[in-house]
Structures are given as structure tokens and as C-alpha cells.
Amino acid sequence: MSVWLVENWWALWLTLFLLFAVVEMLTLDLFFIMLGGGALAGLVADFAGADLWLQIIAFCVVSLLMIGFVRPVALKHLHKGPADQRSNIERLIGESALVMEAVSETGGLVKIGGDVWSARSESGVLAPGQPAVVSAIEGATAIVAPQPESAIQ
């Protein structure tokens, strides 16, 4: 096995690349994929007939260059967009809700969009059919308040 590996370093570089790709899929921080790029450089160097020490140098240089120059640009483009752009649960705050089952400080049900959520009221009891506004999300519970009269049309 070790004789085969010494003659076929490309298998190690390919395995290393695949390992870095899997770890990148789990972490999603654009670091390990840069190391994977270095492993591909080592693979290319092996196919070009370079000695092992040159393959390792290619791996190190390409990895460092990608971490230093490509990763910051990629992260900048990844996070492009308005800083106040809301996503996931944050986008529900401020949305209107319809009370499905009486909501009090201890519990109840509301419909937000097309989904039914467990809910608690900020103040008083909200009757079924009454419109409300989502003011916060705590776990899987929407905190709602009565919708202001001026907003009801």
C-alpha cells in the first residue's frame, strides 16, 4: 500500500480535496474550500510530474493566496445587500396576524401568512378573528399585540 501511495500521490491530493469540500459543506465559512483549491494545485503539480516537495509548496502557496485574496472577495460578494435586510424569523416581526384561537399572556393560536403559530399576547386577551401584529418571536411562539385601529381597513 505505501509503495503504491509513493507512486500515486495524486490519490492523496484528490482525497484531501474531497475531505476539504465535505468539511466546507458542513461549516460554510469559505475557508476549507480554499484549502481544497490548494489540494487541487498539488494534484495538478503531481500530474505535471513535480516532486513531492514541489507539490507541497504548490499546495501551501495556492492555499495561502486563496485564503488571503480570494476568500475576502468571496465573502464580500456573499454578504452583499442591505445591512438591514431581514431573513428567516426576523422577517415575521411587524407582519399582520389573524387570531385563530383566543390569545392571552399564557397562549393561543394565530395565523401568520399561511402558517398557524402558537402565540402569546403582550397585553390583554385577543379574541378569535381579531387582527394582530407580530412584535417578537420567542422560539416557536409569536408574541403579538392588537393591530392599531388606524391600520385596520
Question: What stretches of 28-100 show up as alpha helix (H) in DSSP?
Answer: 32-47, 52-65, 71-78
Name the percent of the chain lying above pLDDT 90: 66
Distance CA 25, CA 97 (A): 36
Give the residue among 84, 127, 91 at the shortest CA–CA distance from 112: 91
Q: Give bridge partners of residue 10 from the DSSP assignment.
A: none
Could you tell me the pTM of the whole model?
0.54
Domains detected in the chain: 2-78 (no CATH), 88-151 (2.40.50.140)
**pLDDT (tens digit, 9 = 90+) per residue, 114-137?**
889 999 998 789 999 999 999 998
